[in-house]
Amino acid sequence: MLADLPLLSLVIWTPIIGGLLVLFFGKDEQAPLARIIALAVSVLTFLLTIPLWTGFDNSTYQMQFVEYASWIPTFNINYHLGIDGISMPLILLTAFSTVLVVIAGWEVIKYKPAQYMAAFLIMNGLMIGVFCALDSILFYVLWEAMLIPMFLIIGIWGGERRVYATIKFFLYTFLGSVFMLVALIYMYTQSGSFGILDMQNMPLGMTEQILIFLAFLIAFAVKVPMWPVHTWLPDAHVEAPTGGSVILAAIMLKMGTYGFVRFSLPITPDASMKLDWLMITLSLIAVVYIAFVALVQKDMKKLIAYSSISHMGFVTLGFFMIFAIMENTGSTQGMGMAIEGALVQMISHGFISGAMFLCVGVMYDRMHSRQIADYGGVANTMPIFASFMVLFAMANAGLPGTSGFVGEFMVILAAFKANFWIAFLAATTLIFGAAYTLWMVKRVIFGEVANDNVAALKDVNKREFFVLGVLAVAVLALGLWPAPLSDVMHATVDHLIEQVMHSKL
């Protein structure tokens, strides 16, 4: 019964239409109603994604829940949706994060609350669409359309330098994507199809592949973001309202890495192999250098933003290390571990970074400061909050038993099969990650009560407790028992490796 419904369309359009509905309650006195509708829509969307998980067939790499309709026949562009083991968990993560963001913004957002909620709901639908799209133009349209609500969220509800940050954010990401558009058009003129699956199967020469790979690289590297095109992220994170930071860190960054596995690796496997040194180098720079940068930050949000860049370096490292593993060991086993580790890291980072930003948000709502120096001894006045914060910080540092450990461990383990030095450099993150995270926690949470403002702090209320509690459960569950997540991915990852190993020349 449920399987007959166009589930993917439902999860894309429910939040978008719901968001438009919320917009109608734009007046401030109607805010309570707008909040309730927003919550209902986001919860409904999340519930609609659950059948995607329960009804998912782990044994096949084929696209599931496929929907297909002609959209723009002139250019052979189709409304083609489908999910596999890589995109399904990301869709659940997106819908889940949006529910938390709506709750987290409940009474905190006083200025135009309905528009705030509506923007997140619309973005929820667009983001889910990005993960479902199997037509490259549909993908591109959603990928770009998503920038509009985010641009407004940062610009309207952001901090002091919000205008600078949001324009920088928009221009950076727009700059990256247009090159991808040219690459997509080029492939269309060669193959006559904008279908992503068709592009994965079309033959391409080496020069073409390299150019297409570089075009994709600009688009996705900006989004991940990879060093050296990461500079928009700290600005955007710092200025964005808490909800915006959560969605940016938890979902938007994942789109860059998703792009690598959906486009770069399968469409240009030979170029990926040829340029894997570049990707590994950039990833390691992100992992090591950005960790140092994080160490010296004075602003908590900035610190977490840099920590995100560093963690996303792990993901790209995992994806592009596979060629070195193949060369070194001659088996595909380690490759699977590298990619799966990276994918698990994506999901885990979604929870952890979201949780970290929510923690900062909780403190910011009370103190209106993000500076580490303004805090100290928060554990004395907010003990429950402090326990959450410490847990998430440990997860961020990759403590075994939390989700942060699983992905990093898998990637480092696989890295040893590729090259000792890659593994060594990647493993330093366990030290540096612990250093910058725990040092921040030490300065903010522990010690004597620093000043009167901290002394006056009130511990988390029920709403905040719920949000942080749910995330804590997710972080621990994924850390203790990651099998359900990796089981979903096996077949898809195996197929991806097959595609990558199959030369297109």
Partner 1 sequence: MMTPSSFEMPNLLPALPEIFVLAATCVILLADLFVRDDKKVITYLLSLATLVGAAVLTITLHTGETVLTFSGSFVSDPMGDVLKVFVYLVTAAVFVYSRSYLMARNLFKGEFFTLGLFGALGMMVLISAHNMLTLYLGLELLSLCMYAMVALQRDSLNATEAAMKYFILGALASGMLLYGMSLIYGITGSLDLAEINAAIKSLDDSKMMVAGLGMVLVIVGMAFKLGAVPFHMWLPDVYHGAPTAITLYIGTAPKIAAFAMVMRLLVEGLGDMHAQWQEILIIMAVLSMAVGNIIAIAQANIKRMLAYSTISHVGFLLLGILAGTAEGYSSAMFYAITYALMAAGGFGMILLLSRSGFEADRLEDFKGLSERSPWFAFMMLILMFSMAGVPPTVGFYAKLAVLQSVVGVGLTWLAVLGVIFSIIGVFYYLRVIKLMYFDKPVDTAPLESTADMRIILSANALGILYLGLMPGSLLALCVAAIG
CA distance to 34, 138, 140, 332, 438, per residue, from 170 (Å): 28, 20, 15, 39, 33
Residue 151 or 320: the one with the smaller Cβ distance to partner 1 is 151
Nearer to partner 1, 202 or 384 (CB): 202
Nearest approach in angstroms of CB 25 to partner 1 is: 12
What count of residues does the chain have? 505
Which two structure tokens, joined as six digits, stand for 235? 């600005």
Q: How far is the CB of 240 from partner 1 (least distance, A)?
A: 13
The CB-of-419 to partner 1 minimum distance in angstroms stands at 35
Q: Within a 13 Å sphere around the CA of 421, how many CA atoms are in the beta-carbon half?
A: 3
How near is the Cβ of 139 to partner 1 at its closest, in Å? 11
Q: Is 135 helix (H, G, I), strand (E, B) or coil?
A: strand
d(CA 203, CA 198): 10
Residue 170 CB, shortest distance to partner 1, in Å, is 6
CB of 84 to partner 1, least distance (A): 24
Measured from the CB atom, the residue of 86 and 211 that comes closer to partner 1 is: 211
Give, to the nearest 10 degrees, the angle between helix 333-367 and helix 322-329.
Answer: 150
Choice between 144 and 494, CB closer to partner 1: 144
The binding site for partner 1 (CB under 8 A) comprises 26, 71-75, 137, 140-142, 144-145, 147-148, 151-152, 155-156, 162-163, 166-167, 170-171, 174-175, 178-179, 181-182, 185-186, 188-189
Neighbours of 11 (CB within 10 A): 29
Tell me how far, at minimum, the Cβ of 499 lies from partner 1, in Å.
Answer: 25
* Burial tier of 421 (Cβ tally within 10 Å: 0-12, 13-18, 19+): exposed
13: amino acid identity, one letter:
W
Handedness of CA 76, 82, 84, 87 (dihedral sign): positive
* Nearest alpha carbon to residue 105 among 168, 156, 151: 156
- As given in the structure block, the two tokens for residue 252 are 């938007």
Cβ nearer to partner 1, comparing 129 with 433: 129
CB nearer to partner 1: pick between 152 and 326 = 152
3 state SS of 378: helix
Shortest Å distance, C-beta 57 to partner 1: 32
Shortest CB 474 distance to partner 1, Å: 32
Prior bond of 225 cis (ω within 30°): yes
C-beta separation of 237 from 225 below 8 A: no
* Nearest to partner 1 of 72, 455 (CB atom): 72
Q: Are 425 and 476 in contact (CB under 8 A)?
A: no
Is there a contact between 397 and 324 (Cβ–Cβ < 8 Å)?
no
Nearer to partner 1, 127 or 291 (CB): 127
- 3-state SS, 206-264, equals HHHHHHHHHHHHHHHHHHCCCCCCCCHHHHHHHHCCHHHHHHHHHHHHHHHHHHHHHHH
Peptide bond into 228 cis (omega under 30): yes
Identity of the residue, 175 or 390, whose beta carbon is nearer to partner 1 in the bound complex: 175
